[in-house]
Structure 1
Amino acid sequence: MPAFRQVGEKQLPNPVLCMAWSPKRDLIALANTSGELLLHRLANFQRVWSLQPSEYTWKEITLAWRPDGKILAFSLGDTKQVVLCSVEKAEILHVFPVQSPVSCMHWMEVMEESSALSSFYNSEDKSKMFLPKLPTLPKSEEKSDEILNLLGEARLNVLVLGGGGAFVELYAYGMYKIATLGGVSGMCRSLSLSSDLKSLSIITEVRSADDKLDTGLLSSCLPEVTRMARKFTHISTLLQYVHLSLTCMCEAWEDILTQMDLRLTKFVQEKNTSTQVQDEFLELLLWGQSRWDYVGLKKLGQSIESSYSSIQKLVINHLQSGSEALLYHLSEVKGMSLWKQKFEPLGLDSAAIEGAITAVGSFSLKANELLQVIDKSMKNFKAFFRWLYVAMLRMCEEHVQPELNKMTQKDISFVADFLSEHFSKNEELFDRKGKYFNVERVGQYLKDEEEDLVSPPNTKGNQWLNFNSNCVCFSVILCMFVVVLLV
């Protein structure tokens, strides 16, 4: 037998706790005692990236690569959670809790081919015909692309976790728990699941012989488990995508819109006047004069319009796209739950799924309401700042362009109503020193609060709401009509 020959050596500053080679790429993952997770290339052993998910040093850590080599799973010995990390960039994509600290893990790919599985893989590819590709998010392009990597290939893979206290769990696609196994004694030190899902071999610290558990139930329900796990992965990924979309919307809003009331309040305080900003604007509207200097407010108007446009694009391109994809996958899960012979033993509850569909539908309706509020706010502020800009030019005795000088009586009434509605002092919102001007209506939708909207949209004259309010009477009349026909 030929002897092994050393081909390279690399000195590291800290002792290595564990390492794992990528099954597909020239990469090796290392964890050291200083609390770092490192990714190195094997060819020249250069560092690709490092990640320090905890501020403490580690005593024990376990690693496992997804079979396609795009996701790395790890678990710290002192914690009860598993983390899925992107390989392209040091980015944590998904975290889920477990009942006990993990001492070993194994990530394998199911190799058994059956007609049912082949049919599922083909139908999985056809689903792309109905759902457009989700666009990348601005300022978070890399993050949104990495989240979509959680889906991976359609072929089933299973992450097996083991720990102390008879703790063994199986997660399809590394995210969806499909089994919790009992009958294991001692601390798990190594485990391996067969490629056909029929048996699981476990090495424990107590017994001298290996434990070998029968997992034939998973193998017999393989097509149903695969379909459920794949749908769960889609839904979990889309939820993260929607959450990231909301984060981008909040950032766009905070760039300028949260500063609007503060600027106007500061504007009043600097003038040291007892009159309210509403009175000053109305005086400017009626008499064309004011004690204030409005230089700088034009830029504020442009910034507000730009921020509204950014939020509007995020709602249309990202939030609604993610919600529609969620409804699509939840509707398929609802259909699966109605096939009780196949999926009821696996725990699919049609009532719970129906509740989830209702929640996503309500979310989509609220997003559509937000679009209407944004559209109305953009029109209001555009007209308001257009009038304000013309008033500034007149006060400075500068030339006003003819296209800007067209101000009808209807436009004047609109501006007056806008000032009365938005610039009046609201006692309910008086939560800081100075006056709070209720001029911004979008931010109330983005706050993480369970309270009702502070300034709900005006529903007067809404035909759909009027129809719903009359539905009870309509239903009663219809029922009476049917009874008369039957008699």
Structure 2
Amino acid sequence: MGDVEEEAAGDSLAFTLHLDKPLSSQVDKASWNPDKDLLAMATRDHQLIVHRFNWQRLWAITPEMQVTSLCWRPDGKALAVGHDDGSIAIHDVENGDVLRQIATHDTAVECLYWAQEGQEAADHGDDVFCYEDRTSRFFPSPPHTPPMPGMASNFDMSGVLGHVAEDQSQANRKNVLRAAQQRLYILCSGDRNGIICLSAFGVFPIGKLDIRDLTISGMVAEYKSVAKPVSRLLDASALEVSLSEDLRNMTVICSGAQSVESLQAMAGAESRASGLYAISVDTSLLGDRRKELRQVALQASSVEELLEVVEGTVTVMRKHWSEAISTFEDKFRSLSTLLLEHGSPVKPRDEFLSLLACGSASAALHQFLAASLGEAGLKRLAKSIDTAGRELHNLIAEHLQPAAEIIAFRVGELRGLSRWRSRLRRIGLHETLMEDAMENAGMLLVQVERLLRTVSDTTGQFRLFFVWLTKSLRQLNGDVGPQANQLPAIDSVGVADFLRTHFERDPVGPHLAPASDGLVVDIKPEEEARIVELAIMGGFADTKFLSRTLSSQIERLRASCQEAFAMPVKEISPNLQARCMLLLCPLSSSLPPISTVPLSLTYFEVNSGSVKEESRLEDYICLRVQDDASAADQNVVVIVRDFSVSDYSLPGGAKVPEVLALRLEKSLHCIDLALYKQRQVILLVSEKDLEDDEKTIQTYLMLLQLEDLEFTPLSPTSSPMSRLPLLHLCSTLEAVVDVGLKSGKVRAIAQLDAVPPLAVSASRGLACVFAGQRRALLYDLEEDEEGQDDEME
């Protein structure tokens, strides 16, 4: 090696090594938190681990399913994790708790990308649609699902929408919540079957794209023949996906076999070409309707979360009440047995009515009250019913009713938005469906109010019954002391009404019964007639809703909301159209699996240089290409930029993508790569012994400035490019640059057996390199530059 290369291998040119730590298992996936010094890793022993900068473990969990992809939310407060069963879990950054588990895919989730609406897009001057979420003006913080009896509180899931997770004052919480709602987060996920799903805030589906069903134009703009070739990508599998901050462009990297339907214009080309492809997708509808999508997603996601709160609260209430009422029924069931043993065919209710009317009890009733039950047992039973009644009242007042009110308000807001058809209908907010959901939300409010009155009345009647029964027991026992006079006066009419209506029939249980039981709640004829009159005056069209149980009404509300909230996917998905497709590299049996190809995809913000002109987003695709036709091609890195904004279907073509091939020195081999900040690329390369390819001399991190390199436009009219590998195109266009240890910024690293993945943090200027001997090395990519600047000063 030359003098410069020897310096590159020296300690003086090494990046600052912050730590070198052993690993319990090799790492398969790694991703830096964009806002904090946290590194998330998925290991081969099926652990999901998050480490701090000093390598202190923040938390570690063992998911039930194998982790196949990782991605941090742009604010750094949540981690999306894809699994091989198609599910996506969103974990809290602080403790790893699952905020939400969603199942949007049927097979392994291979890639995740969380896009954040850019500040310029959020502050854009489009004030035609200006809407503020007014819920916080009229309601306190939304309730959470109460814990089951004997269990700890459920985890707060509000963080899934960007709500704050830290302990803050109420004012600060509202301010942070408003700030989080100013931008739209979209989680993009791709699976092995070529399905791309888009979810607002990671929980509300807004789009779905099946790559295998796309008809894609080739990289050809002008044809003399009438039949223009249209391609399909068979057996597609998504590998990487990226969405621009303006939400108008999406790039998908996938493997598959291209099938061209019209071969007349592709003379001499094979019918299929298996390889790695880049697909540009037009998502301009998301950018045009970002404000509407943000509000619909926030409202709808909140409704779905609150529906879970309502369902969970009803389950907890059912548990409390069923335990208390079961104890009551078990105790008084023994009275029926005693009456039969004494030869009396009278029902217990009639025995108590006789005691209330005459003041005398039969032998069986006296034995039951004095011996079987006793005053102590009667007090415990009364306390059990009274406690359950108070618990139900509190659960309704603190959880069920507030949740139902916020649901009704949010559904009403969505119904109001749906009436602006010109803007909201295009993203799937249908007025008719929202009207149905609004009516069901109103019915739920009425039923909750009725349940509250029923619980209060029933608890009061039970209290009257137990007071009277306690006083009667003392009188039967001859207790006429001062203690007997401490009990309140007896309401004989109230006790008689309880015995006739509630003693043998649970008045609360049917309201809380599961919807699967198919129970019907009895309503009085006068109430039904009043509902019919209200319907004529503009009330609910469904006049039988009061006969449904609370769970049945919740089920109807959920079904109507699901139908309404499923429309955005149906309306938006057809508008996600592919612009064009580019073959990146071919596949063959002699090449390594496509999953081992180093690949990086991102968007950079590029300033135009003019104050008047806005900055634009420029996408970059970077990968190591391989071609079994030439051994020299094993060490080539190809970079494509401006691919997502190209559209060759337009007359004369639009802005064309530009390409560049970096041909590494013969001794260098690219292990992994990552696009870095300010249009830079970092290559992790190993230097091999030319006489022994198995022997590694040194391992380097190479940092190249892309804006210093000369890219070459892909001319759409030069040749039928859609079927040619990208490396061949670069050679044809003479867009190949030789790269060696003298190029760019090259630093030697401590380990010779470096392996993927290369984890780079653009916000913190860090790189984590993993070694085959299960070690992690953390390098500072910026500190040595600062030192040089200080020396120059």
Contact 2:111 / 2:240 at 8 angstroms: preserved in 1?
yes
Distance in 2, Cα, partners of 1:379 & 1:251: 20
Aligned partner letter, 2:83: L
Contact 2:144 / 2:309 at 8 angstroms: preserved in 1?
no
User: Deviations for 1:37-94, whole angstroms, at most 9, x for unmatched residues?
Assistant: 4444443433525253x3xx63x522222222332222221x2332333334454333
Aligned to 2:333: 265
Aligned partner letter, 1:420: R
Contact 2:105 / 2:191 at 8 angstroms: preserved in 1?
no
Query: How many Å apart are 1:107 and its aligned residue?
Result: 1.0
Which residue of the other structure, out of 122, 136, 140, is the alignment partner of 1:132? 140
Distance 1:284 1:291, change over 3 A: farther
Query: How many Å apart are 1:384 and its aligned residue?
Result: 0.2
Which residue of the other structure, out of 420, 433, 443, is the alignment partner of 1:352? 433
Distance in 1, Cα, partners of 2:132 & 2:289: 18
Distance 1:364 1:126, change over 3 A: closer
1:420 aligns with 2:428: no
1:45 aligns with 2:18: no
Question: Structure 1: which 5+ residue stretches go unaligned?
Answer: 424-436, 476-487
Partner of 1:233: helix, strand, or coil? Answer: helix
Query: How many Å apart are 1:20 and its aligned residue?
Result: 2.9
1:302 aligns with 2:383: yes
Distance 1:441 1:35, change over 3 A: farther
Distance in 1, Cα, partners of 2:513 & 2:22: 50
Aligned to 2:412: 331
User: Deviations for 1:340-362, whole angstroms, at most 9, x for unmatched residues?
Assistant: 11111222211111111111111
Query: How many Å apart are 1:121 and its aligned residue?
Result: 11
Computing the radius of gyration from Cα coordinates, the structure with the larger value is 2
Partner of 1:402: helix, strand, or coil? Answer: helix
Aligned to 1:443: 509
Distance in 2, Cα, partners of 1:121 & 1:473: 36
1:179 aligns with 2:241: no
Distance 1:271 1:173, change over 3 A: same
Partner of 1:190: helix, strand, or coil? Answer: strand
Distance 1:216 1:30, change over 3 A: same
Partner of 2:460: helix, strand, or coil? Answer: helix
Aligned partner letter, 1:444: P
Query: How many Å apart are 1:396 and its aligned residue?
Result: 3.2
Distance in 1, Cα, partners of 2:447 & 2:477: 44
Contact 2:145 / 2:308 at 8 angstroms: preserved in 1?
no
1:189 aligns with 2:239: yes
Aligned partner letter, 1:104: C
**Higher RCO (CA 8 Å, separation ≥ 6 residues):** 2
| Percentage of pairs with the same residue | 24
Aligned to 2:21: 9
Distance 1:244 1:69, change over 3 A: farther
Query: How many Å apart are 1:249 and its aligned residue?
Result: 1.9
Contact 1:100 / 1:167 at 8 angstroms: preserved in 2?
no
Distance in 1, Cα, partners of 2:291 & 2:510: 45
Q: Give the TM-score normalised by structure 2.
A: 0.52
Aligned to 1:428: none
Aligned to 1:250: 318
Query: How many Å apart are 1:386 and its aligned residue?
Result: 0.3
Distance 1:247 1:467, change over 3 A: closer
Query: How many Å apart are 1:456 and its aligned residue?
Result: 2.8
User: Deviations for 1:409-452, whole angstroms, at most 9, x for unmatched residues?
Assistant: xx2343234223344xxxxxxxxxxxxx43x3212222212556
Distance in 1, Cα, partners of 2:122 & 2:27: 42
- Spell out the pairing of 1:8-407 with structure 2 (5 A cutoff): 8-12=20-24, 14-52=25-63, 54=64, 58=66, 60-77=67-84, 79-101=85-107, 102-111=109-118, 112-115=120-123, 123-124=131-132, 126-136=134-144, 138-139=146-147, 146-152=156-162, 153-154=180-181, 155-181=183-209, 182=211, 183=214, 185=233, 186-206=236-256, 207-208=275-276, 210-266=278-334, 268-269=336-337, 273=341, 275=344, 276-285=347-356, 286-289=358-361, 290-292=366-368, 293=371, 294-295=373-374, 296-398=377-479, 399=481, 400-404=483-487, 406-407=489-490
Contact 2:73 / 2:80 at 8 angstroms: preserved in 1?
yes
Aligned partner letter, 2:458: S
Contact 1:41 / 1:48 at 8 angstroms: preserved in 2?
no
Query: How many Å apart are 1:187 and its aligned residue?
Result: 1.8
Distance 1:227 1:416, change over 3 A: closer
Aligned partner letter, 2:253: I
Query: How many Å apart are 1:105 and its aligned residue?
Result: 0.7
Query: How many Å apart are 1:195 and its aligned residue?
Result: 1.4
Distance in 2, Cα, partners of 1:260 & 1:192: 61
Query: How many Å apart are 1:301 and its aligned residue?
Result: 0.7
Distance in 1, Cα, partners of 2:427 & 2:537: 42
Distance in 2, Cα, partners of 1:384 & 1:249: 23
Contact 1:144 / 1:244 at 8 angstroms: preserved in 2?
no
Query: How many Å apart are 1:260 and its aligned residue?
Result: 2.5
Contact 2:143 / 2:309 at 8 angstroms: preserved in 1?
no
Distance 1:271 1:118, change over 3 A: farther
User: Deviations for 1:125-163, whole angstroms, at most 9, x for unmatched residues?
Assistant: 654112222245543798666222222121111101112
Query: How many Å apart are 1:291 and its aligned residue?
Result: 1.8
Distance in 1, Cα, partners of 2:334 & 2:389: 22
Aligned to 1:434: none
Contact 1:22 / 1:69 at 8 angstroms: preserved in 2?
yes
Greater fraction helix: 1
Distance 1:461 1:214, change over 3 A: closer
Contact 2:146 / 2:313 at 8 angstroms: preserved in 1?
no
Distance 1:374 1:472, change over 3 A: closer
C-alpha root-mean-square deviation of aligned residues, in Å? 3.3
Query: How many Å apart are 1:97 and its aligned residue?
Result: 2.8
Query: How many Å apart are 1:179 and its aligned residue?
Result: 2.3
Distance in 2, Cα, partners of 1:272 & 1:89: 61
Question: Structure 2: which 5+ residue stretches go unaligned?
Answer: 1-7, 163-179, 215-231, 257-274, 539-793
Contact 1:156 / 1:173 at 8 angstroms: preserved in 2?
yes
Aligned partner letter, 1:63: L
Query: How many Å apart are 1:172 and its aligned residue?
Result: 1.3
Distance 1:180 1:18, change over 3 A: same
Aligned partner letter, 1:134: P
Distance in 2, Cα, partners of 1:81 & 1:461: 51
Partner of 2:399: helix, strand, or coil? Answer: helix
